[in-house]
Structure 1
């Protein structure tokens, strides 16, 4: 057990002949007691400071640990968000490509259909022109025949008769 200031104060030395000066020893012991008490107080203050600093150190260590865990969680969350964003972007791209392919295929189909319709209309127009030309040529040929003159004279006579009868 460590020595206390009270132990020093209560210490009695045996007396001998030609011993030390008692007053001088007592004064020295009083000084030792004061210094020892001062050292004990300083030691307690240092221990209290050390405990306070240890508590702060533990507190900051806990904060550091919490921050480290938070950073790890945040990094994992950021990685997950980035991965999800990449997956979503890939899905959007695939959907857009599907839509683009569908639109292109529909456009090509419509283009082919319109092209076929145009070709059909060209054929019909060509047939119509040929028939019309044939009809016009037949009519011109009819007009150029000699039979019109006799038809005209018969028609005039019939018209006169009708007038006379009426």
Structure 2
């Protein structure tokens, strides 16, 4: 059983002859008692500190366990988040690739359709231009044929009329009427002479304006062939009349 300061202080020693000085022993016991009390107080304080330290240690151990558990949970959560992020990134990448492939396919299809449409339109325009060129060539060729036919008919008609003009019948028709009247037809000769005198008088008495109009009327009475030679429309009309 451990001694207490009170036990030390109440301790009685027996007295013998030639023993220790009682006062010295009492002083020493008082000093021991005091030191022992101090030692007990310090021991109590140390036990209290030790208990507090143990409580702290237990708290920190529990905190350490909790932190370790939190770290484990955090690590597990991080692994799950990482796995989920990897899967989500794979899904996003796959979706982006699919979308890009669809856009590329759509663009290629659209470009193919545009090229095909442009080629069809170009072929259509080329076909129309070729057909128009053929029509123009045919119309030009037909016009040339008609022109050659007209030229041939005009040449033949002019040659025929020239032959008629050079014939003896025209010479006979162009003779003066007086050449057909014999000397025995004196009455007719007198009438012709009167008519010639009357015509000469009218010409001499006519105003200058009327005389100047005479050539214009003569021009208006040009033969049809001469009009055709200077007027294409008259030439076509003449061609139509000749073909009829």
**TM-score of the aligned structures, taking structure 1 as reference length:** 0.75
Query: SS at the partner of 1:152?
Result: helix
Aligned residue in 2 for 1:65: 65
Query: SS at the partner of 2:119?
Result: helix
- 5+ residue gaps, structure 2, are 155-234
Provide the C-alpha distance between the structure 1 equivalents of 2:85 and 2:67, rounded to a whole number of angstroms. 26
- 5+ residue gaps, structure 1, are 157-166
The structure with the largest alpha-carbon Rg is 2
Query: SS at the partner of 2:103?
Result: helix
Q: Within the alignment, does 1:152 sit opposite 2:231 as a pair?
A: no
Cα pair 2:9 2:30 within 8 Å, conserved: yes
Query: SS at the partner of 1:95?
Result: helix
Deviations 1:132-163 (A, max 9, x none): 1121112112222125988633768xxxxxxx
Aligned residue in 2 for 1:4: 4
Q: 5 Å matches for 1:84-163? A: 84-144=84-144, 145=146, 146=149, 152-153=237-238
Provide the C-alpha distance between the structure 1 equivalents of 2:71 and 2:127, rounded to a whole number of angstroms. 82
Q: How far 1:98 moved relative to its partner?
A: 0.5
Q: How far 1:7 moved relative to its partner?
A: 1.7
Provide the C-alpha distance between the structure 2 equivalents of 1:34 and 1:63, rounded to a whole number of angstroms. 42
Query: SS at the partner of 1:81?
Result: helix
Cα pair 2:9 2:29 within 8 Å, conserved: yes
Between the two proteins, the alignment pairs up a number of residues equal to 157
Provide the C-alpha distance between the structure 1 equivalents of 2:150 and 2:115, rounded to a whole number of angstroms. 49
Q: How far 1:20 moved relative to its partner?
A: 3.2
Q: How far 1:17 moved relative to its partner?
A: 4.0
Deviations 1:77-125 (A, max 9, x none): 3333333222222211111110111111112222222222222223222
Deviations 1:18-70 (A, max 9, x none): 43333333332222222211211111112112222222333333333333333
Give the superposed CA RMSD: 2.8
Aligned residue in 2 for 1:40: 40
Provide the C-alpha distance between the structure 2 equivalents of 1:33 and 1:126, rounded to a whole number of angstroms. 132
Q: Which runs of 4+ in 1 moved over 4 A?
A: 147-151
Provide the C-alpha distance between the structure 1 equivalents of 2:20 and 2:122, rounded to a whole number of angstroms. 145
Aligned residue in 2 for 1:56: 56
Provide the C-alpha distance between the structure 2 equivalents of 1:153 and 1:27, rounded to a whole number of angstroms. 178
Query: SS at the partner of 2:12?
Result: coil
The structure showing larger relative contact order (alpha-carbon pairs under 8 Å, at least 6 residues apart) is 1
